[in-house]
Chains A and B, each alone.
Chain A
Amino acid sequence: MAKRKAAVSVRECVACGCCMKVCPRNAITVPNGLHATINRELCVGCGKCVKECPASIISLEVADS
Chain B
Amino acid sequence: MNEKKKWYDYLWAVSLTYLILGFFNILFAWLGLLCFFIPLLIAIVKGNKAYCNKYCGRGQLFSLIGGRFGLSRKKDMPKWMKSNYFRYGFLAFFFIMFFLMLWNTWLVFSGAKNLGAVVTLLWTFRLPWHWTYHGTLFSDGVAQFAFGFYSVMLTSTVLGFFTMILFKPRSWCVYCPMGTMTQLICKAKAPKEG
Q: A: which residues have CB within 8 A of B?
A: 12, 14-18, 20-24, 26, 30-34, 48, 51-57
Interface of B is mostly: helix
| 24 cross-chain CB contacts under 8 A | A14-B82, A14-B87, A14-B174, A15-B53, A16-B49, A16-B53, A17-B53, A17-B54, A18-B173, A21-B63, A22-B1, A30-B49, A31-B48, A32-B190, A33-B49, A33-B182, A33-B185, A34-B186, A52-B168, A54-B168, A54-B170, A54-B172, A55-B82, A57-B82
Closest Cβ–Cβ distance, residue B38 to chain A (whole Å) = 14
Task: Answer whether A15 and B174 are a contact pair too, CB < 8 Å, given A34-B193, A55-B77.
Answer: no
Interface of A is mostly: loop
Closest to A29 in B: B53
Closest Cβ–Cβ distance, residue B111 to chain A (whole Å) = 43
Verify if B25 is at the interface (C-beta below 8 Å from A). Answer: no
